[in-house]
Structure 1
Amino acid sequence: MMQLSMRRALLRALTAAGVAFALPASSAFAADTLRVSAIPDESPTELQRKFEPLGKYLEQQLGMPVKFVPVTDYAAVVEALGAGKVDLAWLGGFTYVQAKLRTNGTAVPLVQREEDARFTSKFITARDDIKSFADLKGKRFAFGSPSSTSGHLMPRFFLGKEGIAPDTDFANIAFSGAHDATAAFVAAGKVDAGALNASVWDKLVASGKVDTAKVRVFATTPPYFDYNWTVRGDLDVGLQAKIRAAFLALDPAKPEHKAILELQRAARFIPTEPANYDGIESAARAAGLLK
C-alpha cells in the first residue's frame, strides 16, 4: 500500500506542477495485491488447500502478493468480481455467464483446464430401484448450488432432454450447496439421487470418501464447456497477460508444476474465450435460470 500511496503522491505533485498525463481506460496501475476468489463448490478448507501452492506460484510468476478471498456462495463471487473487490476468480461456466452479464460483457475468461472443454456431470444414487432417468419420477433429488453449472444447470438441462421436469416430477428438490455435499446427501439417504460434477466424483472415489458399493453412478451427461479463470475487465491488461502466461506455463513434466496441476485436477491449462460459453448461456435461458 505504501508503494501505491507514493505513486499517487508523485502523480498529484506532477499534476500540480503542470505535467499532464493520458491514462488508459483500464486501471492506471496494476493492483499491488492480486485478489483471487473461487466459487465455493467444495468445502472452504478444501478450496484453501487447493489454492495455496497455486497462489505461491502466481506470486513468483507475477512478482506481487496474491491473496485468496473466500466467499459464502456462488453469487458472492459474481458480485465481488463485478464490484471490483476481486481481480481473478475461478468460475463455473454458468457463473462466468452471470459475471459477463453483471459486468456488461467486460469480464475476461483467460484460461480453462484442458478437461473443461469436455466436462460432464454424474447422476448418482444409493437406491437399487433407480437405474434410469424415468426411475427418478416421484423421488427426492439433490442439486449442488443453484448457480452451479455442473451441479445444477447442465444436469437440469439434460434432465429436460430426457423428459424429466424437476420442479414437477421430483417429490422434493434439495440444494446441497456443493458437489461433495451432494454425494454426502445421497450416501446418508437424505435424498434418493443427486447430480455432481465428474471431477469431484472421481476425487471422492479415489480418496475413499464415497463407498461405491453403496453409492453408484447411473447416468452421465453429454460433454459441455465448464470452469475457467476469469479476470475483471478493467484489470491492467499487462497483468492480465502475465496471469494467462503463468497458467499456460504450468508443465506437468516439472514435479513442482505437476503437484499444482494435480490439486487443480488439470492435465494442463489452455486458452479460452467468451464464445465457448454461449452454449451454457443458451441452456440457462432455456431452463429459465436467466431472464
Structure 2
Amino acid sequence: MITLLPRLLLAFVLLAAAVSVQAQQLFRITAIPDESPTELARKTAPLAAYLGSRLGVKVEFTPVTDYAAAVEALASRQVDLAWLGGFTFVQANQRSGGKVLPLVQRVEDEQFRSVFITTNAAIRSLADLKWRTLSFGSPSSTSGHLMPRSFLLAAGIAPDRDLKRVAYSGAHDATVAAVASGKVDAGALNISVWEKLIADKKVDAAKVRVFHTTPTYYDYNWSVHADMPAARRDQLVRAFTELSPETPEGREILALQRATRFIATRAENYRGIEAAARSAGLLK
C-alpha cells in the first residue's frame, strides 16, 4: 500500500495538469446581442469552428443577455474575444482602464451607416419626427442609438425634448417589428440588418420604408483584452484577414458576418464614436 501512494499521487498530479491544460485550451467568444439569440448562434457557429482550427483550441460561443454584459465579459476577461459595436468598444475600453484592443473590423465598418424607417407617409425627413414616437435599439448600440441620436441632435432635434416618446427595443430586428406593428411612428437601426431583413423578405418593403440614411462612421470590431499574448493576437488577425470568398468556408463565414473581408483596425478609429458619446451625454 505504501509503495502505491507515490504512484497514486503522481497520477493525481498528472490528471490535474491535464485538466488544467484542457481548461486553458478553451477559447471563449461572445457578441453584443444586437439580433435574436438564434440568429447570433447561426452566424457564429461556422466562425467558431474556423477559429478553432486556426488556433488549435476549442472555441465556444458564450451568449450574453445585453450589451452591458458583453462589455463586462471582455473587460473582466470572462471571454477571450468579443464582437462589439463602436460604442461598446469605447465602453469596454473605459471599463478596463484602456486594456481592450480592437483587432479587426469588416471593410464595411469603415463607412457604416444607420437608417431611419417608418410606415407613416407624413414622415419624410428628420424634422418630421418632432412630437412623434421613435424607437432606438439598445441604449448602448452604436448604430441603433448613439449615432442616430447624434445625427438627430446635429439636425436640431433633441429626442428626449422634441419627440412625443422615445423607446428602446433592445435589438435592430425588434426595432423593425415595433415600427411595422405601429407601436412607434419611426425607428433607427443598423443599415446592414435592415438590408438583410429586406433581402430575406422578413419585412414588407411596401409598408416599411427608409426615410433617412445617416452619414458614415466607424462601427463594429472584434476586440480582445490587452493581456492576451501578442502572438495569439497576431494569430487572430491572420485568421480573420485570410478569410476569402474564394473558398467555400470563407464564403460562408463572410456571408454570415455580412462582410466583404476583414481588415486590421486600431483604437484611434473609434475616437469619433467616443466624442459623439460624450457630446450626447452617454459617456462620462
Aligned to 2:64: 71
Q: 1:47 corresponds to which residue?
A: 40
Is residue 217 of structure 2 the alignment partner of residue 224 of structure 1?
yes
* Paired residue type of 1:6: A
Give deviations 1:115-161, integer Å, cap 9, x for gaps: 00000000000001100111100001000000000000000000011
Deviation at 1:255, TM superposition (A): 2.0
Q: Show CA shifts across 1:222-247 (max 9, x none).
A: 00000000001112221111111100
Paired residue for 1:179, among 172, 190, 196? 172
**8 A Cα contact 2:112 2:216, kept in partner:** yes
Instruction: Give the one of 47, 50, 60 matched to 2:53.
Output: 60
Q: Is the 8 A contact 1:50 1:264 kept in 2?
A: yes
Tell me whether 78-87 or 38-47 shows the greater mean CA deviation: 78-87
Separation of aligned partners in 2, 1:134 and 1:211: 25
Cα displacement (A) at 1:78: 0.5
Moved more, 236-245 or 159-168: 236-245
- Is 1:6 the counterpart of 2:13 in the alignment? no
Structure 1: 5+ residue stretches without partners: 11-29
CA offsets 1:170-211 (integer angstroms, 9 cap, x no match):
111110000000000000000000100000000000000010
Q: Look up the match of 1:95.
A: 88
Secondary structure of the structure 1 residue equivalent to 2:122: coil
Please say if 1:260 is aligned against 2:258.
no
Q: Is the 8 A contact 2:75 2:99 kept in 1?
A: no
Q: Tell me which residue corresponds to 2:131.
A: 138
Structure 2 residue aligned with 1:86? 79
Q: 1:246 to 1:158 in 2, by over 3 A?
A: same
Whole-angstrom distance in 1 between the partners of 2:158 and 2:15: 54
3-state SS of the aligned residue for 2:45?
Answer: helix
Q: CA RMSD in A?
A: 1.8
Q: Distance in 1 between matches of 2:219 and 2:259?
A: 13
Match of 1:213 in 2: 206
Residue 75 of structure 2 contacts residue 95 of structure 2 at CA under 8 Å; is this kept in 1?
Answer: yes
Alpha-carbon contact 1:153-1:284 (below 8 Å) kept: yes
Give the gaps of 5 or more residues in structure 2. Answer: 1-12
Partners of 2:67 and 2:218 in 1: CA distance:
18
CA displacement at 1:49 relative to structure 2: 0.2
Amino acid at match of 2:280: A
- What CA distance in whole angstroms lies between the structure 2 residues aligned with 1:75 and 1:273? 22
Q: TM-score, normalised by structure 2?
A: 0.93
Change (3 A) 1:32 1:9: closer
Aligned length: 272
Q: Distance in 2 between matches of 1:274 and 1:3?
A: 42
**Deviation by residue 1:240-268 (Cα, 9 ceiling, x = unmatched):** 11111100110111122111000000000
* Counterparts of 1:120 and 1:101, CA distance in 2: 24
